[in-house]
Amino acid sequence: MKLKSIVLAAAVAAAFASPAAFAQAKEQFFPVLSYRTGPYAPNGVPFANGYVDYLKLVNARDGGINGVKISFEECETGYATDKGVECYERLKGKGPTGATAFHPLSTGITFALTDKSFSDHIPIITTGYGRADSVDGQVFAWNFPLGGTYWDAADMLVQHVGKLEGGLDKLKGKKIALVYHDSPYGKEPIALLETRAKMHGFQLLLLPVTHPGVEQKATWLQVRQQRPDYVFLWGWGVMNSTAIKEAVATGYPREKMYGVWWSGAEPDVTPAGDGAKGYNALVFLAPAGQGQVHKDLIKYVYDKGQGTGKKDEIGEVLYNRGLAAAMLTVEAVRKAQVNYGKKPLTGEQVRWGLENLSLDDAAIKKLGFTGFMVPLSTSCVNHAGEAQARIETWDGKKWSVQPGVLHADNTILKPMIRSSAEKYASEKKITKRDCAKEAG
Amino acid sequence: MSKHWPVVALGVALLVGLALPLATGAAPPGFYIEVLLGGLMSGVLYSLVALGFALIFKASGVFNFAQGAMVLFAALSVARIAEHVPLWLAIVLATVIMTALAWVIERFVLRPLVNQEGVALLMATLGVTYFLDGFGQTVWGSDIYKIDLGIAKEPVLILDKVFQGGILVNKEDFVAAAVAAGLVAGLTLFFQKTATGRALRAVADDHQAAQSIGIPLNRIWVIIWSVAGFVALVAGVIWGSQLGVQFSLSQVALKALPVVILGGFTSIAGAIVGGLIIGVGEKMAEVFLGPVLVKAFDLAGGGIENWFAYVLALLFLLVRPEGLFGEKHIDRV
Amino acid sequence: MLYRENGQFKSTYASDQQMLPILQDRVLMAALLAFAFLVVPAVTSEYVFLSLLIPFLILTLAAIGLNLLVGYCGQISIGHAAFMAVGAYAAYNLVLRVPQLNFLVVLVLAGLIAALAGALFGIPSLRIKGLYLAVATLAAQFFMDWLFARVKWFTNYAHSGSVSTAPIQLFGWTVESPAEKYLFLLSLLVVFTLLAKNLVRGHIGREWMAMRDMDVAAEVIGIRPVYAKLTAFAVSAFYCGVAGALWGFVYLGSWEPLAFNLSLSLNLLFMIIIGGMGSLLGSFFGAAFIVALPILLDQVPLWLGVPIPTATASHLASMIFGALIVFFLIVEPLGLARLWAIGKEKLRLWPFPH
């Protein structure tokens, strides 16, 4: 009995000691916040696998970033904000120069980490999620929603259904329902959808689904009652497949359902079987499929038994998105090394690289990402680049991407972003950066 | 009559609330019936989980918080084993697994805690929940798995001549209701007609008296936990085929708690009736009351059903503190 | 030998009734406080502050609150994180709408609002008890979850439903660095623990314990159950409200309604069960255990040099947590505080066997 207490006390005391210092080799440390357990694991696992596989590829194929090897460590967040913050605190100081950048993979965690970024000076990359107003790099100096935000996504969907109806003005009197995950992630597009609803006269029906999203019978009964013309799905994890199943059960045509780019992956549609045929979703950055980089992955990583996930899962939508996210981070480091030297870099130096990213088609081809990346260039003022996406439809076996690229309407978005960023800056008493002065 | 007026008043209030959407014309009759059916089907699912609670509490006085985790574990076992063998064999194997689990829980958790008070046992089952969650995911994985009962998922439109727009019904829901009814019938027969069933009822009435006439308590507890495990298996298979089998399934089982407190912890009939009441009440409130509240208070969306079940159960408790069918609790000083 | 009371005579009632009557206890407490206030801020790393000490201090406060209700008054509550949420949102709204208020005043007001909510949700305890009450308290939990997610006024009409706070300003001093946060929380915790200790030793505490032990008999001798139970709920909710406000402002900085969900409630309950119900010291032990355990479970594989995939580590943590709870309940149902008390008893005789 006493021995037990002593052992426990000793263990707790030992935990007070700082974590053991790892071999401080010439390495760039990449923290990986992931969730491989819990209700969001079906979607979290492929993304994390893609991200980690790319880091392994860069080490194996290229010997690191210009000779600087990549070291990484995963931390399980379970999509919970407090665990995410704890993982952040644990990993931010690791490695010779601290963490390179964080991909929180959760809008909730992003909100929490954004406040810390101003004092910790580590970039937070939120490819296609996070705060929609963080495009403004003058207020959100450390957030990078590369590839687009939820306002972009919502805007694109409204434009697309407007096109289907024969013009945005034809949306007047129509009903669009938003079935959304009841979290910052799901609530983020509401601001833009309300603006568009006022502009074009369509009725917006808000139907929140509580975490984890397995109970949607009442939600879809309401959909059946209201009979909206379109349903936009903003779900994650188990909520996506449940939504499609409930749509089948209440007889809502899946062709009228449009999911955001986080509601359009294989784990979301396969559980519903044939019922998911005709379901549409946005796809940005990287669609499903395999290209040059996948061949390299098989050659350098999987054939050597180093693959993180299963070999037949590479090429899925979320896996490719993880690859793209890792690639963008690596390229930012590479770009920053041009300015700061070929050595391990701090988060602040990596931020310079993130603000000066310019990936054109030639660069994408060199990286092996042709077809799986869109040209992207960032700046101090615009931390996201030009968002573009397409619509993909599930045919029962695979996603088929429709032609026609969608862009968000910046005349609507820019003022919204500016006013929201200003509000944040005044609430948190943040001094805005002056991008012109920093560049010149 | 005057003694029962709170119950009667509550019942009347609820019936009025139930009839209101029809009366005010807020819902066309066809849709109203759909919501009612949806509520009844949800209620059936809750009842299946609540049945496990009631069984264990009745026989051993333990409030098994781990019932949800058992549902999940059983469903995971069936889903994963069925990837390699036919479904019926998977169900049989999963039953064996659940029985083994029951034996382990009885031996290592219940027996050492045999005379502790209710809170300690509740906490112990909470510990078992955490353990099962982690263990289930380690062994079977965290992905979404399918249980394919072979029933068509597409709904069928019926009675479209009688009600405008027809009524959409799902074959799966009726199968679920039939299975639940069969299970309850089977359990009732088991308890009334077989010797083991009688022994279980004796233990439920009075542990010490049962022991004194020679009924082996430990073995009875293993049996009851196995039966509850089988009930969890049935619930898991039905829930799983509707919603897909994933970790989040265990959290849905929390919804069964208001069912047991409404129905009474020790009553099987209470679990069924309570489940139906909660299911119907919840869906009705969400679909009809929700939008009213949203408009009245400018709320950011509905989602009332998350707490409505609890409030409903609470209201019942205030008029009948031991639940609808529960046994009156007598305190002795 | 060391822990003898020989020669310590009390000549006044006041000295006999003091909280720490034995001299060695007083010395130990003074040393502990000196260590906590002076030594710890100087030597601890930022990571330990942010992941271990700060959550430990805030959760101890919440655990004390819950212990007052469950351990001292015997009313089970599985939904106490709801009152933490009430405190947090109340504090947020007070700071937002009445910015002139001193933060300490804000804390007290937030606690009072939470106490009101506690008294309200404690009303069912007058009619139902035991496990029925436990499940009924879940109603508070889910209702609050829903309330703060839906009623937009609470989150200042933020579209994301998430609120964020600026660092606390107190008499011109900004509580920003981890060491400053630690000292601020420690001071608050010392004050509140003293308060709780006095409550428990006073007549209200005795009324609570009477209700816990045998409520029918207590009523017979004239203790009003309404008064006792509702004050227990109110005071316990006050503590949890203050703890919730601190959790949001000092630890999280930015939170959404899901931050105060059921798993936090269950964690609080585990803390007092493992620590020891009906013991303030037990709240400290329990909070330390629950805060340290997940971090330990994550770090131990690293120290042993055995790399485990994060998913497995997380599942293992869950399994070990569950197994430990069952283990504690079997081995020592009265919790770590009981182990400590046994230790002290043995220490009084040491080195003699009896």
Give tens-digit pLDDT for C262-274: 889 989 988 998 8
CA proximity to A191, closest of A133, A104, A125, A255: A133
How many pairs of residues across A and B have Cβ atoms under 8 Å apart? 109
Contact A213 B248 (CB under 8 A): yes
Pick from B38, B137, B154: CB nearest A37: B137
DSSP result, A56-120:
HHHHHHHSSBTTBEEEEEEEE-TT-HHHHHHHHHHHTT-STT-B--B---SHHHHHHHHHHHHHH
Which helix (H) or strand (E) element contains residue A364?
helix A361-367
- Long-range pairs of A83-87 with CB within 8 A, sequence gap ≥ 24: A84/A33, A84/A108, A84/A109, A84/A112, A84/A113, A85/A109, A85/A112, A85/A113, A85/A116, A85/C252, A86/C51, A86/C295, A87/A31, A87/A33
Distances, alpha carbon A227 to alpha carbons A171, A252, A435, B74, B302, in Å: 15, 8, 48, 37, 17
Instruction: Return the structure tokens found at C211.
Output: 């209700």
DSSP, res A224: H
Q: Do domains A25-147+289-377+418-439 and A150-284+390-408 have the same CATH topology?
A: yes
Q: CA torsion C249→C251→C254→C257, rounded to 10°?
A: -90
pLDDT higher at C351 or A199: A199
pLDDT digits (tens, 9 = 90+) for C37-51: 998 888 888 888 888
- Lowest average pLDDT, out of A66-80, B127-141, B143-157, goes to B143-157
How many other CB atoms are there within 10 angstroms of residue C4's CB atom?
Answer: 14
Domain A25-147+289-377+418-439 CATH class label: alpha beta
Residue C35 within any structural domain of the chain: no
Q: What is the rounded average pLDDT of the residues C201-219?
A: 91
How many other CB atoms are there within 10 angstroms of residue B281's CB atom?
Answer: 24
Query: Domain of C52: which CATH number?
Result: 1.10.3470
H/E/C letters for each residue in C219-283?
HHCCCCHHHHHHHHHHHHHHHHHHHHHHHHHHHHCEECHHHHCHHHHHHHHHHHHHHCCCCHHHH
Q: With contact defined as beta carbons under 8 Å apart, do B46 and B180 qualify?
A: no
Q: What is the pLDDT of residue B332?
A: 63
pLDDT higher at A189 or B145: A189
Interface with C, mutate which of A35, A72, A77, A85 (most C CBs under 10 A): A85
Tokens 């609507």 correspond to: A412
Residue B130 within any structural domain of the chain: yes
Backbone angles phi, psi at A388, to 5 degrees: -145, 150
Say if residue B115's pLDDT is above 80.
Answer: no
DSSP result, C311-351:
HHHHHHHHHHHHHHHHHHHHH-TT-HHHHHHHHHHHHHHTT
Domain, as residue range, for C61:
47-349
pTM (two decimals) = 0.87
Residue of chain A nearest B246, judged by CA positions: A39
The amino acid at residue A440 is G
CA proximity to A8, closest of C339, C164, C103: C339
Q: Rounded to a whole number, what is the distance in Å from the CA of C329 to chain A's nearest CA?
A: 14
Q: What is the rounded average pLDDT of the residues C238-248?
A: 96
Dist. CA A10–CA A348, nearest whole Å: 38
Tokens 């089982």 correspond to: B253
Q: With contact defined as beta carbons under 8 Å apart, do A99 and A347 qualify?
A: yes
Dist. CA B266–CA B323, nearest whole Å: 9
Distances, alpha carbon C130 to alpha carbons A322, B315, C323, in Å: 50, 17, 25
Q: Which residues of C touch B300 (CB under 8 A)?
A: 149-152, 161
Within C102-222, strands assigned E span 163-164, 168-170, 173-175
Q: With contact defined as beta carbons under 8 Å apart, do B239 and B249 qualify?
A: yes
The amino acid at residue A310 is K
Q: What is the rounded average pLDDT of the residues C230-234?
A: 95
Q: What is the mean pLDDT of each run of 10 residues along chain A (440 residues)?
A: 49 45 69 89 91 93 90 88 85 87 91 87 92 90 92 93 89 92 88 92 90 85 90 92 89 92 90 88 87 90 86 88 93 92 90 90 89 88 89 90 89 91 84 77
Residue C32 within any structural domain of the chain: no
Q: Which residues of B touch A249 (CB under 8 A)?
A: 153, 155, 170, 172
Distances, alpha carbon B169 to alpha carbons A2, A53, B156, B219, in Å: 63, 46, 5, 44
Tally the domains of chain B: 1
How many other CB atoms are there within 10 angstroms of residue C334's CB atom?
Answer: 18
Q: What is the pLDDT of residue A17?
A: 45
Q: Is B291 helix (H, G, I), strand (E, B) or coil?
A: helix
Q: Could you give the angle at the alpha carbon of A353 between the alpha carbons of A79 and A407, nearest 5°? A: 65
How many other CB atoms are there within 10 angstroms of residue B313's CB atom?
Answer: 28
Dist. CA C140–CA A396, nearest whole Å: 44
Q: What is the rounded average pLDDT of the residues B72-78?
A: 90
Q: CB of A212 within 8 Å of any CB in chain B?
A: yes
Say if residue C169's pLDDT is above 50.
Answer: yes
How many pairs of residues across A and C have Cβ atoms under 8 Å apart? 110
CA proximity to A102, closest of A69, A132, A77, A135: A77
Which helix (H) or strand (E) element contains residue A206?
strand A203-209
Residue C231 within any structural domain of the chain: yes
Sketch the domain layout of chain A as residue ranges: 25-147+289-377+418-439, 150-284+390-408
DSSP result, B20-40:
HHHHTTSS-HHHHHHHHHHHH
pLDDT digits (tens, 9 = 90+) for A115-145: 888 888 999 999 999 889 899 989 999 999 9
Dist. CA A249–CA A218, nearest whole Å: 12
Q: What is the pLDDT of residue C124?
A: 85
Dist. CA A302–CA A318, nearest whole Å: 18
Contact C127 B323 (CB under 8 A): no
Which helix (H) or strand (E) element contains residue B168?
strand B167-169
Q: What is the pLDDT of residue A177?
A: 94
Q: What is the rounded average pLDDT of the residues B81-85?
A: 87
Instruction: Return the structure tokens found at B74.
Output: 């059983």
Which helix (H) or strand (E) element contains residue C189?
helix C178-201
Count Cα atoms within 13 angstroms, Cβ side, for B277. 27
Instruction: Return the structure tokens found at C134.
Output: 């436990």
pLDDT digits (tens, 9 = 90+) for B171-196: 878 888 888 888 888 888 888 888 88
Residue B140 within any structural domain of the chain: yes
Say if residue B28's pLDDT is above 70.
Answer: yes
Pick from A42, A217, A273: CB nearest B246: A42
Distances, alpha carbon B61 to alpha carbons B55, B188, B203, B222, in Å: 9, 19, 10, 14
CA proximity to B31, closest of C89, A306, A220: A220
Residue B189 within any structural domain of the chain: yes
Q: Rounded to a whole number, what is the distance in Å from the CA of C283 to chain A's nearest CA?
A: 16
CA proximity to A266, closest of A210, A315, A217: A315
Residues 6+ apart with CB under 8 A from A84: A33, A77, A104, A106, A108, A109, A112, A113
CA proximity to C190, closest of C28, C37, C31, C22: C37
User: Interhelix angle for B29-60 vs B256-263, to 10°?
Assistant: 70
Contact B134 C124 (CB under 8 A): no
Dist. CA C20–CA C8, nearest whole Å: 12
Q: Is C111 helix (H, G, I), strand (E, B) or coil?
A: helix
Dist. CA C52–CA B294, nearest whole Å: 41
Residue B222 within any structural domain of the chain: yes
DSSP, res A182: T
The amino acid at residue B24 is T
Q: What is the rounded average pLDDT of the residues C148-163?
A: 82
Q: Rounded to a whole number, what is the distance in Å from the CA of A218 to chain B's nearest CA?
A: 6
Q: Is B327 helix (H, G, I), strand (E, B) or coil?
A: coil
Q: In the CATH scheme, what is the homologous superfamily, with its name and number, of domain A150-284+390-408?
A: Response regulator (3.40.50.2300)
Q: Rounded to a whole number, what is the distance in Å from the CA of A45 to chain B's nearest CA?
A: 9
Say if residue B330's pLDDT is above 70.
Answer: no
How many other CB atoms are there within 10 angstroms of residue A410's CB atom?
Answer: 15
Dist. CA C330–CA C26, nearest whole Å: 33
**Which residues of chain C are at the A interface, by a Cβ-Cβ cutoff of 8 Å?**
44-48, 50-52, 149, 159-162, 164, 166, 252-256, 258-259, 288-289, 292, 295-296, 299-300, 302-303, 309-311, 313-315, 331-332, 336, 339, 342-343
A14-51 core/surface letters (b: 16 or more CB in 10 A; e: else): ebeeebeeeeeeebbbbbbbbbbbbbbbbbbbbbbbbb
Tally the domains of chain C: 1
CA proximity to A83, closest of C81, C261, C246: C261
CA proximity to A55, closest of A323, A271, A303: A323
Q: With contact defined as beta carbons under 8 Å apart, do A272 and A220 qualify?
A: no
Dist. CA B38–CA B18, nearest whole Å: 14
Domain, as residue range, for B183:
32-250
